[in-house]
Structure 1
Amino acid sequence: MTNEPPKGLKANLPKSYLSDPVSDELFYKSCTKPAWERLLFALCFFHYLVQERRNFSPLGWNIPYEFNESDLQISVRQLLMSLTEYETVPYEAINYLTGECNYGGRVTDDWDRRTLRNLLSQFYNPLVVTDDAFKLSNCAEYGIPPMSGHVNVLKHIKDLPLLQSPQVFGIHENGDITRQLAETRPFFDSILKTQEKAIGSGGGGGGGVAKTSDELVTEVANDIQRKMPQPFAVDTVLEKFPVNYRESMSTVLVQEMIRYNRLLNVVLASLANVRKAIKGSVLMSAELEGTAKCMLISKVPTSWAAKSYPSLKPLGGYVNDLITRLRFLQMWFEEGAPVVFWLSGFYFTQSFITAMLQNFARRYTVPIDELGLDFELVLDPSVLDHRPSDSVFVNGIFMEGALIDSETELLPESHPKVLFSSIPATVNITPKVQRADGISYEAYRCPMYKTSARRGVLSTTEHSTNYVIALRLPSTVPEKHWVLRGSHTC
């Protein structure tokens, strides 16, 4: 038996007040300080928000965490203890206990931890206690109850709107579309699984269904085989681009070709074996059968995905994207390093970024760990005639949760009903020596991911393997605004 958290503000907040320990009248009235009831309501509101943000994944959280009632209960008890033992509210202490220990103890992604800290700072701050008109969100309806006591608080909750705008969570209105897409995706996944079972149960007899499926798989395999180039001749590439201490990009090209060769070998071998298995030349193993089923429903086979770069595309889009990536590397080999690099075309994007930092660090003899990255739009086409010496020009970057204005180079809000927008110009990424006094302009430290899913395997750096770098984007509003928006590039 499981007890899942209720959905919606009206269902969630009353439960917090009708459950232990808040429901215990002796406990509730054990603190007479005005800050107690106001901070308690803010904490319960926060508890609701962190749970409901999961529905906006990945705008809400990179990883959907299982926050539950035990997190709220321990935070409530610690809040009461802190208010009882100290004359003034220890905001730093309760922020740390709640944000880093109780709720933060479940958070494994470093960028999610930043979101949690910024979200909690809205509810654990002096204005919650001192400002009677304080609002808990950007929506005017959500404030602190004007009167104390269980009954008055529950009445205040009852008067709140039935439906909540994404703005309550700090997310743009487009978040509703993201939430609806996330809710319908399991339904379509179930349909595809049903189709897989129907296909799997149709083989072996003399009927026409299995034969038609076999013909379709063969046709798809032949089409992909015809489009795919042969693996790169790495030895030839090494002769033209030998290892060079001053030019790490040559190493990047060779390493990328080796990675894509591994993927190509798996793809070409599985295509050949699937066709042989259909003809009866080899045994139809479970892996080959799974590959055939994936081809029928336009899904990337599991054996390919295991050796592949992260991708959310269906089979047709994946194959076209792979071919485009291979052509990008082939042109690099034939014509030399391009002036503008296609950032989305790298198998392991981090190696490209590291190579750029290595070139800069070796040229100017500075420690590589003291370098940061600046981001600038290239609005003058004449600049793109030659490669820059200290930076790189890149394209193929998209943004979710915000836009980049090509004139002001600042971050405005997303257009209604537009989830993703391409950055409207070539981008110049420049290594800069980081200084202790920070930067002179308001900026948002924007994470970049390989795919919009953001989720990946947690690495030793406390970042997802889907994570690439963080870009500093100029902004006229505080960074917290874009953090809660879930804004990112990919």
Structure 2
Amino acid sequence: MLAESDTRTPMVCLLSMGSDPTENIERLAKNKGAPCRPISMGQGQEVHARRLLAGSMTDGGWLLLQNCHLGLDFLDELLETVTAATPESVHKGFRVWLTTDVHARFPIAFLQSSIKFTNEPPLGMKAGLKRTFIAVTQDQLEVSSLPQWKPLLYAVAFLHTTVQERRKFGPLGWNIPYEFNQADFTSSMQFVQNHLDDLDSKGGVDWSCLRYMLGEVQYGGRVTDDLDKRLLNTFTRVWFSESTFSDNFCFYRGYSLPGVATTVQDVLQHIDALPLLDSPEVFGLHANADITYQTNLANETLGTIINIQPKDSGGGAGETREACVQRLAGEMLEKLPPDYVQHEVKGQLQKMGPHQPMNIFLRQEVERMQRVISSVRSTLTDLRLAIDGSIIMSEELRDALDCMFDARVPRLWLRLSWPSATLGFWFSELLERNRQLHGWIGTGRPDQFWLTGFFNPQGFLTAMRQETTRANLSRGWALDTVTLSNDVTKMMREDVSAPPPQDVGGVYIYGLFLDGAGWDRRSAKLSEAAPKVLFTPLPVVHVYAVSFANMADSKRQPGGGGGVSLYSCPVYKKPRRTDLNFIFSLQLRSVQPAEHWTLRGAALLCDCK
């Protein structure tokens, strides 16, 4: 690529997640004997960039403009300066390198005049480790004479590749896809080296310090989600201990430390012997995670294809887009539930007790559901009129038409409701949610609740805590000392015939699915997921409130004892595991230690579609 370029042709690197070409460009400049001048673009950086550009054009240096999507206004000036300069006024060794994220406003003329390339991180453990160690010099490998140095260096490289590889599995791998890159490995390697230089020969490696620096600072510094931080700390706890130096230590079957490796070439030969295809279990995940990865990849590809399809009506035979949406709108209007009558709802709540926490919550849910139903009815009615030509097709109606034709949820409805994979799933969920709320108002409090059917499930659980606290005021309970506890019953939804016992209180909830794990109904414990079964329905869960102050007198806590551990399993509204979708955590019993399920990425989802 360098050979193809010249002083008038910039080279643009389109950044991909987890891959930063800066180090490679600087190393190439050093090999060619050219001074490399990097500058990160942003507000006010144009002045410094002009100065470095002028200096580089004169002495043949390389100008490296990083993050150019933050300084797009400077690019037109840069292109004009580079292309307008006469060959006599520019040193023949001068080159311009740019790194940028994909941006809609990036100048087209600049792209057409430049060489475009991308630098994606390699796929697979073998390729990732090889790329990491190709950047390690023999001097760096021999920088310490201590026997702990080389095993720890390889373990850090293995961790580095693992945290990058887990990204491809979506929420199973990381709740948020972090941009781990080569700089994280370099700084971790430097820390391990400094730590060993200060090592007390009698005390050995300070593992707590090493784990903290890797899990909380070097890699953990990028992590913003608490559960992702727990996962990262679990990796450091499992792979960084005194057993790391034992002969039988391995990260996973077939993935061991190099034996006697004296040169970088020896380490690369060890890496060459690794399997070509990695099982997801290498990264701590279940083998089913590979199905999730392939499904996500296919959905992303198909989504892109659908988005670039022409939106105009075709002139060929068959039903037009407008006629298809017109028919669909009519069918949806027929099935749409009737509006809630405000005075009827108020009268029913009055009978049930308007100031009870659960009934206050119910009123809020009904109000939000009414807003969704009104919006859907209004949009569908207006859309039919707009297609007939009776009213003007507004931007929102155009969006609704495009989305409905592609089986996606219109943006206006999404703002008021919940995300869903397709319009069909969304509308079915609307009918189900309305059925639960309508039944609650019409026939009184149900024996069990569909947690997925609430706009604010956290508010539902808080109302239950308030209800239990009020019932136990005589025992000295206060809301700030009350916490949630749970038991997973052996009943499925159809087996529930009565509410929870009065002495314990709480609620029965159903509709939760295990992702990344299975469930043994007989022993009521977590188990490995069955092959090719991605989501396992959890039986009805009894969630109730207990007081810290009266913990000894309260109903027993779930699990514990007899070789059974507890895994704090996060519950999410949707498959996207973000803070916005997090509800609470359930304590699930398990024979395996909790770390096993943390690495598996096990979680409960209210909706798996």
Above 0.5 in TM-score?
yes
Is residue 267 of structure 2 the alignment partner of residue 177 of structure 1?
no
- Alignment CA distance shift 1:116-1:418 (3 Å): same
Give distance in 2, aligned partners of 1:72 and 1:177.
29
Superposition map of 1:183-262 within 5 A: 183-195=297-309, 198=310, 200-202=311-313, 207=315, 212-242=320-350, 247-262=356-371
C-alpha contact (below 8 Å) 1:43/1:123 kept by paired residues: no
Aligned match of 1:325? 433
TM-score normalised by L of structure 1: 0.90
Per-residue Cα deviation, 1:11-64 (whole angstroms, up to 9, x for no partner):
111221121xx32x3333221111111111001000000000011111111111
User: Shift of residue 271 of structure 1?
Assistant: 0.8
Which amino acid is the alignment partner of residue 121 of structure 1?
R
Amino acid at match of 1:104: G
Match in the other structure for 2:26: none
* 8 Å Cα contact 2:340/2:370 also seen in 1: yes
| Residues 570 and 582 in structure 2, CA contact (< 8 A), matched pair in contact too | yes
Question: Which region of structure 1 is more displaced relative to structure 2, 434-443 or 28-37?
Answer: 434-443
CA–CA separation in structure 2 for the residues paired with 1:333 and 1:293: 36
Report the equivalent of 1:107: 223
| Equivalent of residue 48 in structure 1, options 141, 161, 185 | 161
Paired with 2:281 and 2:319, the residues of 1 have a C-alpha distance of: 53
Per-residue deviation, 1:211? 7.4
CA distances 1:200-226 after superposition (whole Å, capped 9, x unpaired): 2337xxx46797221111111111111
Q: Rate the CA distance shift 1:81–1:343 in 2: closer, same or farther, 3 A.
A: same
| SS at structure 2 position matched to 1:6 | coil
CA 1:351–1:71 in 2, change beyond 3 Å: closer, same or farther?
Answer: same
Residues 148 and 379 (structure 1), Cα distance of their counterparts in 2 relative to 1, 3 Å cut: same
The alpha-carbon deviation at position 421 of structure 1 amounts to 1.4
Out of 560, 582, 598, the residue aligned to residue 440 of structure 1 is 560
User: Which SS does the other structure have where 1:445 is aligned?
Assistant: strand
Is contact 2:348-2:442 (8 Å) kept? no
Which residue does 2:388 correspond to in 1?
279
1:157 is aligned to 271
CA contact (8 A) 1:309 1:348 kept: no
Instruction: Write out per-residue CA displacement over residues 251-282 of structure 1, whole angstroms, 9 at most, x where no aligned residue.
Output: 11111111112212221111112112112222
Aligned partner of 1:306 in structure 2 is 415
Partner SS, residue 202 of structure 1: coil
Cα drift, residue 246 of structure 1: 7.5
Select between 470-479 and 338-347 the one with higher mean Cα deviation. Answer: 338-347
Tell me the equivalent position of 1:368: 480
Aligned ranges for residues 32-181 of structure 1 at < 5 Å?
32-87=145-200, 88-129=204-245, 131-137=246-252, 140-149=253-262, 150-181=264-295
SS of equivalent residue, structure 2 residue 544 = strand
RMSD (Å) for aligned C-alpha atoms: 2.2
Counterparts of 1:345 and 1:91 in 2: how far apart (Å)? 46
The match for 1:429 among 540, 543, 547 is 543
Deviations along 1:406-458, one digit per CA (max 9) or x if unpaired, are: 210011111100001112x3221122335899973411100111112224xxx
Q: Aligned letter for 1:366?
A: A
Structure 2: which 5+ residue stretches go unaligned? 1-12, 16-118
C-alpha contact (below 8 Å) 2:469/2:482 kept by paired residues: no
The amino acid of 2:567's aligned partner reads Y
1:187 alignment partner AA: T
Q: Which position in structure 1 is the counterpart of 2:25?
A: none
* CA–CA distance in structure 2, aligned partners of residues 132 and 208 of structure 1: 71
> 5+ residue gaps in structure 1?
456-463
Q: Give distance in 1, aligned partners of 2:219 and 2:333.
A: 50
1:208/1:136 CA distance change after superposition, 3 Å: closer
Q: Distance in 1 between matches of 2:401 and 2:451?
A: 32
Q: Structure 2 matches for 1:341-420, cutoff 5 A? A: 341-364=449-472, 365-379=477-491, 384-389=497-502, 390-420=505-535
Within 1, Cα distance between the matches of 2:495 and 2:402?
50
Give the C-alpha shift of residue 370 in structure 1. Answer: 4.2
User: Structure 1 stretch 246-255 or stretch 318-327: which is displaced more?
Assistant: 246-255
Higher strand share: 2
Report which of the two structures shows the higher radius of gyration computed on alpha carbons: 2
The structure-2 alpha-carbon separation of the partners of 1:367 and 1:385, relative to structure 1 and needing over 3 Å to count, comes to closer
* Structure 2: distance between partners of 1:297 and 1:332: 34
The structure 1 residue matched to 2:444, chosen from 313, 325, 336, is 336
Retained in 1: the 8 A contact 2:400–2:411?
yes
User: What is the alpha-carbon distance in structure 2 between the residues aligned to residue 481 and residue 382 of structure 1?
Assistant: 32
Indicate if the aligned counterparts of 2:121 and 2:128 stay in contact, CA closer than 8 A. yes
CA distance in 1, matches of 2:354, 2:183: 55
Match of residue 485 from structure 1 = 600
Q: 1:66 to 1:385 in 2, by over 3 A?
A: same
Aligned residues of 1:115 and 1:483 also touching (Cα < 8 A)? yes
Identity of aligned residues (%): 35
Structure 1 letter corresponding to 2:228: D
SS at match of 2:285: coil
CA contact (8 A) 1:371 1:432 kept: yes
In 2, Cα distance between the equivalents of 1:487 and 1:450? 15
SS at match of 2:287: coil
Distance apart, 1:294 and its partner CA: 1.0
C-alpha distance after superposition, 1:105-132 (max 9, x if no partner): 2112111111111122222211112x11
Answer 1 or 2: higher relative contact order, Cα 8 Å, separation at least 6: 1
For 2:296, the aligned partner's letter is: A
CA distance in 2, matches of 1:59, 1:422: 17
Q: Is the 8 A contact 2:358 2:463 kept in 1?
A: yes
* Alignment counterpart, residue 295 of structure 1, candidates 390, 401, 404: 404
Paired residue type of 1:273: D
- Among residues 126, 130, 154, which one is paired with 1:14 in the alignment? 130
* Distance in structure 2 (CA, Å) of the matches to 1:96 and 1:322: 46
1: distance between equivalents of 2:365 and 2:274?
Answer: 55
Report the Cα offset of residue 244 of structure 1: 5.5
Q: 2:540 and 2:400 mapped to 1: Cα distance?
A: 38
CA contact (8 A) 1:166 1:172 kept: yes
CA contact (8 A) 2:465 2:545 kept: yes
Name the CA distance, whole Å, in 2 between partners of 1:13 and 1:29.
18
TM-score by length of 2: 0.73
CA distance in 2, matches of 1:234, 1:100: 52
1:369–1:117: structure 2 CA closer, same or farther, 3 Å change rule? farther
